[in-house]
Every structure is written in C-alpha cells, then in structure tokens.
Amino acid sequence: MSVLFQKLLHTGKVNSFRKFLYPSLSHCKCLSERKFSDSHNKFVSFDEVAAQRRDEARRSLVIQVNSESSFNELYGYCSKYASINGIHHYKNSGGEHFMLVEFSTEQSMKDVLRNCSAHQKEHDVMALKSPFLWFRANSGKKAKLTIPTDVSLVIKDGNAITDEEKLNAELQACSNISDQMQLLYDRTTLNDIGVRLRYMVARQLEVVFESLYTNIEVRPFGSSVNGFGRMGCDLDLVLTNELTHQLSDPKKRLVYQEKKCSSGVRPWQRHLELVAELLELRVAGVSRVTRILHARVPIVKYAHELAGLDCDLCYGNLSGVYMSELLWALGTLDARARPLTQCVRRWAAAHALTSAHAGRWVTNFPLTLMVLFFLQQRGVLPSVKNLINRAGKEDIRIAEENVNCTFLRDMNKLPTECYGQNEANLETLLLQFFEFYSQFDFSEKAISVIEGKAIRKPNSQPLYIVNPLENMLNVSRNVSYEECERLKAEIRNAAWQLEAGSDDKKSDDWGLLSLIEKKSSRGLKRLLRVGNSHRLVAVKDLFNEDDDSDKEEGFRSKLERLTQKSDKVEESVKEMKEDLEKNSKEKKDKKINFKNSQVASEVFRIRRDKMV
C-alpha cells in the first residue's frame, strides 16, 4: 500500500483522497459504492470508468435552454416522462445555455425522445435523431409546476474556464509552491461535466452511424479520458467496428449479406470520407469539418459548437485507447503525478514550447511521458516493463498492425513496493524534474518509460522518447534540433528560476507564477492595471447607449476621462521602467546559492547568450 494511502487510511481521509484521485467520478453511482478502505478495491480501472461513462451517456440528453433559470420548467417537463438523476448546466463559447440531463435508465431517456418533435418550418432542414435537443418556449397556458424542494442544478456554468486573473490572484495568495501546484491542478483539471459532454459527443456519432454499421463504437481517448486533461482540451475520438464475440459466433446460421469496399489498400479512408460528409450534413452542432485523409493516421477534424469542443476523429486506432489506459493507470498510482504533469504542461505552453498546432515542436503527450519517466527515477511510479511482466490473460490486448498492448490493468494487483517510494512534496518534485532534465544527456540517451531508465539512442533524432507501446518508435520524432535546444534551455532556466526564486510572496510572480505566466501577458497586465480600474479603456466607455442626453458634452467628458487614463498609463509605464531597473540591479547584487552547481553554470551561460 502506498505510503500516502496508508496515511490517509489512518487519518480517515480515504474518501477525500478518492475524490481527489477521481474528481470526475464523484457522481458515478456504481463507483461511489466501492469501499476504498478495502485495499483490493483501491484503484478504479480505465475500463470500469469508460463503461460507467458510456452508460451515463446512453441515459443522457443535452438540451439547449434559454438560461439557467429554465431549470424548473425543464425539470417539470422531463419528469412527466421519466425519472431524472441530475441536471448539469453549462454554456458554450457563444454564451448559449445548455442542460445535460441524466435519466435513471436508458428506457426513460428513450421515452423522452419518443415525445420529441422536429422543427421543419424550412424545407431544407431534415429532421434527425440525436441526443442534442432544444427546449421550445411554452405556447399555451403555463401549467403549475411542482418541483421537489430538494432538487436543484448539480452544477451551474460547469464548463467555464477559470478566469486567468482570478487564478493568478489565488496562486499569489498561496503559502508555498506545492499549494500553488495543487491549486492550479484543482482549478484547471477537466471536471465531471467536461467528461460527460465528451462522452455525449461520442454517443451522438454512434447514434448517427448505428444504422450504417452493425457494430460501431465511438470512443474518446487522449487527455479527455487519460486523467491528464484540462478544461477546454480537445476531444480525440476513435471509430471502431471490432467483431464482437456475438457477431462472429460460427453457430449462428443466419449471416448478414455484406458490402465489400473496393478501394484498394485503405478502405477505411473512403469510409472516413463518408463519415466527414455525414458530419457536415447530418450531425447537429458540427461545423468546420476538415479531412486529413492521406496522413499515416487519417483523421477528420471538426468543431462541435453545441458542446464547445474541437474534435479529431480517426478510425480503428485502438493503440490510442490503450495508451490512454496506460497513462490513466500510471496517473492513478500516485496522487502527485497529475498535478506535476499539469504544471509542466502549463509551463511549456507559457514558454511557447508547445502549441495548439502540430509542428516541429514537442506536444503534451511526450511531455507527459517525460514527467512519468522522471517519477520512475524517483521510485514514485513503476516501469511499464514491470506492468507488462505482471499481466495476466485478462490483460491481453492486440491493437491494429499487431501491436501488443498487453500490460497489467488492475493496479490493485501491483505490489505496493513498486510505487510511491518517495515522500517528496510537489514543490521538490517540480524542482527535481527541471534539475533532472537539465543534466539529462539528450544527445546520447533516449527516454524509455518501458525500461524506466535511459537507454542508448538508436538514431540521431534530437529528442528521443520511446513509444511505451511500440518500443521501436519515437513519439517525439517530429521535434527539430532548434526546438529541442529551446526545450533544454527553458528547462535550465526553469531550474534556475526555482532555485533562485524570490522569497517575497507578495510579488505578483512568485513561485509557480513566474514559470506559468506568459511573459508578454505579464507586461501587458501591468500596463492595463491603472489606478483602481482594471482596464485601460472599458468598451462600455466608448459605447454607452444610455448616455445620449447631450452627445457633444458626453464625448468631451469621455475624451477627458480617456486622456486622464492615458496620463495614468504613462505614469504606469514609467513605474514599470523604474521597477525593471531596480529589479535588474537587485538581481546583480543578489548572491544566488545553487543547490546544483552544474545547473548554475549552464544557466549563466544561457543568460549570457541571450544578452548577446
């Protein structure tokens, strides 16, 4: 049993620990009944979670409403047909309101669907079945609603991304870097409604494709489900049509007539073309469909406006799902893995090491592997080889192209001495992460989470991170020499910043803030922070519709107000310059004690190079 878990058992904090490990599962009924004091049931497997989420999605509908106050009316209306488990409210990026309604059974949900109507005023709109609906205003006399007093929204505005300024203020108020890291994780990790919505979008596609393909499944993978997702992350989906045991039963004598696709080597490329057409024509909420069909893994990209998500749909890529399973398993083994990874991902984004677009730079997935590899070095996590060696028959999984994805799934079977052998806090681990990679020999060594140790690089690709499921592949083969150098330099800078970090917890970039706040936005933020107002020029100052009594006078006084503000800006810029000068003088004067002298000399070299 992990040291942390043992401690929690003693202190009776098992439930909060469980909530921390599986924040998105706090509403999963079947999982909340598990006894976590029973060490055999300590970990929930990826398959259990996925099955629970898929079941939830089958019993749920997403209904567009006028506002969150439509709750009573919607509850009253739907409960006439079926019993409701809970209603979750969210807004999409266009500010439109939606309620995700979870019914108690799939049959209940179907009863509601049977009572839906279509909106066919225009002839070019064709009715379609989907779990995405809207709630029409009541045209007749309003019936009196009797809503139980204890019923309310499970969550209001559940999809909102934490406001950066508010988050920074909260981070500034923390008392140490570990607390900052935990807070950042708690505020930004993908929440329950975020996961539910992602499964709803997958379910919507299954509903559309079910009539075309017998055994179709659409499964989310990647950060939406592997436990490392943040609010607003993209949704990776895979469409599969595996032959189930039932469908391939040779005893069944009646067999479907089938249609062979005559399209040479990659028939699914043509099917994906059809899928893209269907997405454009028949799937509510879908827009901006882009076909990338000639890539190694063909995908269709699209935006889902009702759910406010960017989606990537591919076919048959089961190794992506198994990879998510592996990351999920490693993430659940130690409560520090996910907050640490989230901080590193955030740091990389702030320094433009990662980007929303694919290119010659590192992405979140290899960065996550770097963190897991580091945690293996500290005895916090086991090697993947260890999980492979302990796999049983029930763990055998073979993905496309015969890739063997077999490894131990049930972490309850893993001896406790294989993980959690280090009690360092998050702050220490973060510093050690940067120190570790400051000294890592990227030119000769490859990072292998399979072995749990560095191995010799088989080729000269600048950054080599072994694919955990296919040991002959490098997941960072796209990274250019320049980008790898930039990554190394920023790692050394981060180590330096943390080591030399100011103790002044009043400064607005102490601790984690200096690592995760974009430098450009920090300067701009100061510029915008004038006097008591937080905006340089409020838009409403320019377009105040109420103020039309004396327009000329109004404009003159606004102009004066703006001029005063611009004077304040000048003052603020002057203040900033003075601050900068003072800061650089202080830094020159300050004697920095590095715990690690090699890091120190490297950092000074980089800083000098930058100056030139």
The window from 114-122, 251-259, 361-369, 530-538 that contacts ligand GTP (CB under 6 A) reads: 361-369
Angle between helices 3-11 and 14-21 (to 10 degrees): 130
Residue 365 binds what, of Mg ion, ligand GTP, none (CB under 5 to 8 Å, by partner type)? ligand GTP
Residue 319 binds what, of Mg ion, ligand GTP, none (CB under 5 to 8 Å, by partner type)? ligand GTP
Q: Which two tokens stand for residue 239?
A: 């469409």
- Decide whether 36 or 347 has the Cβ nearer to ligand GTP: 347
User: Who's near 74: CB < 8 A, 6+ residues apart?
Assistant: 63, 65, 87, 99, 101, 135
Determine, following the binding rule CB under 6 A, whether residue 365 of this chain makes contact with ligand GTP: yes
Shortest CB 161 distance to ligand GTP, Å: 14
- Decide whether 65 or 450 has the Cβ nearer to ligand GTP: 450
HEC string of 21-85 equals: HCHHHCCCHHHHCCCCCCHHHCCCCHHHHHHHHHHHHHCEEEEEECCHHHHHHHHHHHCCCCCEE
Of 338, 320, 344, 333, nearest to 381 by C-alpha is 333
Which H helix or E strand runs over 291? strand 286-292
Reduced to 3 states, what is the DSSP secondary structure of residue 179? Answer: helix
Of 547, 569, 546, nearest to 556 by C-alpha is 547
Residue 324 binds what, of Mg ion, ligand GTP, none (CB under 5 to 8 Å, by partner type)? ligand GTP
Residue 383 binds what, of ligand GTP, Mg ion, none (CB under 5 to 8 Å, by partner type)? none
Give the residue at shortest CB distance from Mg ion.
Answer: 222
Residue 467 binds what, of Mg ion, ligand GTP, none (CB under 5 to 8 Å, by partner type)? ligand GTP
User: Who's near 334: CB < 8 A, 6+ residues apart?
Assistant: 2, 4, 375, 380, 381, 419, 420
- Decide whether 323 or 530 has the Cβ nearer to ligand GTP: 323
DSSP string, 446-482: EB-TTTTS-EE-SS--SS-BB-SS-TT-BTTTT--HH
- Decide whether 89 or 198 has the Cβ nearer to ligand GTP: 198
Of 108, 88, 106, 89, nearest to 97 by C-alpha is 89
Shortest CB 165 distance to Mg ion, Å: 27
Euclidean distance between CA atoms 316 and 324, whole angstroms: 15
Interaction pattern, residues 292-321, with ligand GTP; x per rule: CB under 6 A? ---------------------------xx-
User: CA distances (Å), 19 to each of 23, 27, 172, 223, 502, in order?
Assistant: 5, 10, 25, 19, 34
Question: Is residue 285 within 8 Å of residue 307, measured between CB atoms?
Answer: yes
Determine, following the binding rule CB under 6 A, whether residue 324 of this chain makes contact with ligand GTP: yes
Residue 411 binds what, of Mg ion, ligand GTP, none (CB under 5 to 8 Å, by partner type)? none
Shortest CB 9 distance to ligand GTP, Å: 32
Shortest CB 307 distance to ligand GTP, Å: 16
Determine, following the binding rule CB under 6 A, whether residue 467 of this chain makes contact with ligand GTP: yes
Shortest CB 184 distance to ligand GTP, Å: 15
Residue 323 binds what, of ligand GTP, Mg ion, none (CB under 5 to 8 Å, by partner type)? ligand GTP
**Contact residues for Mg ion, defined by CB under 5 A:** 222-223, 234, 236
Interaction pattern, residues 211-230, with ligand GTP; x per rule: CB under 6 A? ----------xxx--x--x-
Shortest CB 8 distance to ligand GTP, Å: 28
Euclidean distance between CA atoms 283 and 129, whole angstroms: 9
Q: What's the order of all strands across the beta sheet hosting 299-304?
A: 217-221, 235-240, 309-315, 299-304, 286-292
Shortest CB 468 distance to ligand GTP, Å: 8
Euclidean distance between CA atoms 479 and 305, whole angstroms: 32
Shortest CB 249 distance to ligand GTP, Å: 32
- Decide whether 232 or 379 has the Cβ nearer to ligand GTP: 232
Determine, following the binding rule CB under 6 A, whether residue 408 of this chain makes contact with ligand GTP: no
Euclidean distance between CA atoms 154 and 101, whole angstroms: 10
Which H helix or E strand runs over 86? strand 84-91
Question: Is residue 99 within 8 Å of residue 76, measured between CB atoms?
Answer: no
Give the one residue of 48, 68, 234, 273 binding ligand GTP; rule: CB under 6 A.
234
Euclidean distance between CA atoms 482 and 488, whole angstroms: 10
Shortest CB 233 distance to ligand GTP, Å: 4
Shortest CB 365 distance to ligand GTP, Å: 4
Shortest CB 229 distance to ligand GTP, Å: 6
The window from 91-99, 363-371, 407-415, 533-541 that contacts ligand GTP (CB under 6 A) reads: 363-371
Determine, following the binding rule CB under 6 A, whether residue 339 of this chain makes contact with ligand GTP: no
Question: Is residue 276 within 8 Å of residue 291, measured between CB atoms?
Answer: yes
Shortest CB 298 distance to ligand GTP, Å: 14
Determine, following the binding rule CB under 6 A, whether residue 189 of this chain makes contact with ligand GTP: no
Of 155, 1, 171, nearest to 89 by C-alpha is 155
- Decide whether 349 or 418 has the Cβ nearer to ligand GTP: 349
Question: Is residue 337 within 8 Å of residue 381, measured between CB atoms?
Answer: yes
Chain positions contacting ligand GTP, by CB under 6 A? 221-223, 226, 229, 233-234, 236, 319-320, 323-324, 363-365, 467, 475
